[in-house]
Amino acid sequence: MKHVCQRCREALPPKRLAVLTFMHRGNERTDSYFFCSTCRIYNIKCDYEHFSGEPETYFLAPVSQEVGDRHIELIRQCPQPRDEYCECGTHQRWSSGLF
Ligand SMILES: [Zn+2]
Ligand SMILES: [Zn+2]
């Protein structure tokens, strides 16, 4: 699936710069970070697995390069970013929505 930047609508590079799977309100959610070099912003794709119902994919509001870099730095500190049951500080932060 091809993704476009939420601001300029240009195609985003396919490479995800960071990925984190975590539990959010009892459902599994995976956030993927894509950088738009035109806008210098991060687009965050959100894949939501509902335990009941269809999976859902949507984009969060884009974040600045500064904010996105900080998120990615935190995600890199996690030993298992694809494990939604990981209990590291990054996972706790994302699961509680405090980042
Ligand atoms: Zn853009
Ligand atoms: Zn973790």
Q: 59 CB contacts (<8 Å, ≥6 apart)?
A: 3, 6, 43, 44, 45, 46
Tell me whether residue 12 is in a domain.
no
Contact 93, 73 (CB under 8 A): no
Q: What is the rounded average pLDDT for all residues in the chain? A: 94
pTM of the entire predicted model: 0.92
**Cα-to-centroid distance, 15 and ligand 2 (Å):** 21
Q: Is the pLDDT of residue 67 over 80?
A: yes
Ion ligand 2, residues whose Cβ is below 5 A away: 78, 86, 88, 91
- Number of compact structural domains in the chain: 1
* Residue 45 belongs to domain spanning: 18-96
The answer for 79, left when phi > 0, alpha when psi is -120 to 50, beta otherwise, is alpha
Q: Is residue 11 part of a domain?
A: no
Tell me the pLDDT band of 25, cut-offs 50, 70 and 90.
confident
Ligand nearest to the CA of 6: 1
Q: Which residues pair with 20 in a beta bridge?
A: 31
